[in-house]
Amino acid sequence: MGTVQIRGADKIPQMLLFAPTPPPSPATAHRRPGGSAASCIRCSSVRELDRSPSRPPLPPLAEAKRVVLVRHGQSTWNADGRIQGSSDFSVLTPKGESQAETSRLMLLADSFDACFTSPLARSRRTAEIIWDTRDKDLIPDYDLREIDLYSFQGLLKHEGKEKYGALFQQWQKNPSDCSIDGHYPVRELWDRAQGCWERILTHEGKSVLVVAHNAVNQALVATSLGLGTEYFRTLLQSNCGASVLDFTPQPGGRPPSVCLNRLNQTPSSPISAESSAGRKSSKRIILVCQGATQSSSEGSLGGVGYAPLNMLGVIQAQKTAELLLDLKVNSIICSPQVAAVDTATAICEVQEAAGCLGADCVPRYVEMKNLLGLEIDDAFLTKQKSLEQIVQSGWMGGMEHQKLKTLWAQSEDAWQALVNELPEDDGAESDRVVVAIGHPAIHLGLLCRCLNLTMDYMPSFHLDDGSISVIDFPDGPKGGGIVRCTNYTAHLGRWSVPITKSTENNDEF
C-alpha cells in the first residue's frame, strides 16, 4: 500500500488500512433531550422525534454489538498544557506509553473483531500498543481525528487568553456556540461522530475497539445516546480511559437501543486530583452502588429491604472503602435499607481510621445519615434477568412503566437533597465530598437527573453492584455536574467486572 498523506503527519504505516469516508452530511439539529415520560422506554425513541426518517441517527443492526472507546495515553502536548486539536505534532510521553500498556493488560483477554483508530500519531501509537499481536490490521478513520480547533491549535492556554481574549473565553464557557476562523468546531465534531458510527456499526464484528481522542470520544458517546453539542465537556474522557457501549437490535429495521455500560474506566484512580474538563473541582458527589446481597447473586435486581450483604458484597464494600481512603469524605448519605447501611458503615469506619492507616495526619469525622429518597420498592426484587439480557439492554430495560415512573419521581427529590449538601461559596471551607449509597436502580435515576435527561434515558445506563460513579462540580452546585466516570469497578480487583467478555465460546456477550 502506498503512502497516505494525513494532515499534520508525514505518512501512515503499511499495516494500516483506511476505512472509506462518506461525503459530509448536512448539519443536524442539536437539542437538549425532551419528550414525554410516557413514551416508549428506549433511548433511540427520543432521538427519532428530532431526526428525519430518511437518515436515522444509527444504522439498524442484525445482532448485538459492543463498542469499547479508548482515549490515547498522555502526549507531550498534554503534559505541556498545549492545545492539540487535530494537529499531529505530539507523541506519547513515557507515562502515556505506560498507560497504554496498562490498557493493553486490561483488555488482554477480550475478543475484539476489529480496531478503528484515529490516524494521528498519539492515538495510532496507543492503538498499536493495545492491539499488540492480534492478527487483524488496524482500521484508521480520518473522522476519528481530534476536534479541529484551527487558530487555537498549538497555543498554551495562557497564550490563547492573551491572543484571543473574549473569543477564547467564549470557547471555555460556551464551546458549542463558539466560532473559530468561521467554523463551529463542536458542531462539526458532532457531525463527524455521526458518520463514524455508520462505519463502526456496519462493520461485521460483534466486538469493536475504537482508539481516538478526548473530544471525539465524548462526541461518540453523546451522539450514540442522542445527546446534542451542549453535552461537550460533560462526559469526561481521561488518558487511556475506556468507555463501553452496548447496541441491541430493534425489530422493523429501527435504530438499535443503546446502553452506556460504563464511562471512562481509567488506568489510574477515578478519584485522583485530575481536573474535570480542564477545571479544578473541590466539590464532588460519588454514587456508590451497595454491595451484592443474596438476592442479587441469585439473578434478581439486587438486594433490597432486609437483605444484608453476602460475602461478595462485604468484599465489595471493603474495596470501595479502601479506594475512598485517598479522599477526605465529608458526609455519607445512604438508603435506610440494610445493604446500603452496611456498605456505608464500612466506608465510614475506614475513613475515621485514616490516621491509624497512615492516610491522614489528623482524625477524620464523617457525617452519616439516611435518606428515604434513596430507598427503592421491593418490587425490584421480582424482576429476573439473564446475563444476556443484562448486557444487551441494561437490567432496567424491561421494568414496568409505572414502577419506573415512581422511581423517576423519587429520584428528583433525592438528587436535589444530594446537591444541597454541596456549599455554594468558593471559600477555603468549601471543599466537600458527598458519598451517596444505594441500589443501582436509584443511582440510574440520579445520573439522569444530573445530566438533565428524561426518564426515557434510564435504560441507557448500566450500573453493577459495588461500582462507583463520580460527578464533579467545578462551577459549584448551580453550575451542573461533570461526569468523571460511571460504573467504575476496577477497584474491586479480582472481583471487578471485565470491560468486555470473551465471545469465543458464547453466541452473545
User: Residues comprising the binding site for substrate?
Assistant: 71-78, 122, 157
Which of 146, 230, 375, 421 does the annotation list as catalytic? 146
Q: Please say if 63 is a catalytic residue.
A: no
Other beta carbons less than 10 A from residue 312's beta carbon: 18
Q: What gap in Å lies between CA 291 and CA 32, rounded to an integer?
A: 34
User: 333 and 417 in contact (C-beta within 8 Å)?
Assistant: yes
Q: Please say if 183 is a catalytic residue.
A: no
Q: How many residues does the chain have?
A: 509
User: 365 and 352 in contact (C-beta within 8 Å)?
Assistant: yes
| 439: enclosing H helix or E strand | none
Instruction: Classify residue 402 as exposed, middle or buried by CB count within 10 Å of its CB (0-12, 13-18, 19+).
Output: exposed
Other beta carbons less than 10 A from residue 55's beta carbon: 11
Which residues belong to the annotated binding site? 71-78, 122, 157
Instruction: Classify residue 26 as exposed, middle or buried by CB count within 10 Å of its CB (0-12, 13-18, 19+).
Output: exposed
CA angle 82, 173, 452 (to 5 degrees): 120
User: 472 and 481 in contact (C-beta within 8 Å)?
Assistant: yes
What cell was used for 21? 469516508
Q: Classify residue 300 by its DSSP letter.
A: S
Residues 6+ apart with CB under 8 A from 6: 12, 88, 119, 120, 142
Other beta carbons less than 10 A from residue 354's beta carbon: 20
Q: Reduced to 3 states, what is the DSSP secondary structure of residue 437?
A: strand
User: Residue 75 pairs with which residues in a beta bridge?
Assistant: 92
Which of 72, 443, 462, 491 does the annotation list as catalytic? 72
Q: Reduced to 3 states, what is the DSSP secondary structure of residue 134?
A: coil
User: Residue 284 pairs with which residues in a beta bridge?
Assistant: 433, 472
Instruction: State the distance between the two ends of the chain, measured CA to CA, in whole angstroms.
Output: 35
Report, as residue numbers or ranges, the catalytic residues: 72, 146
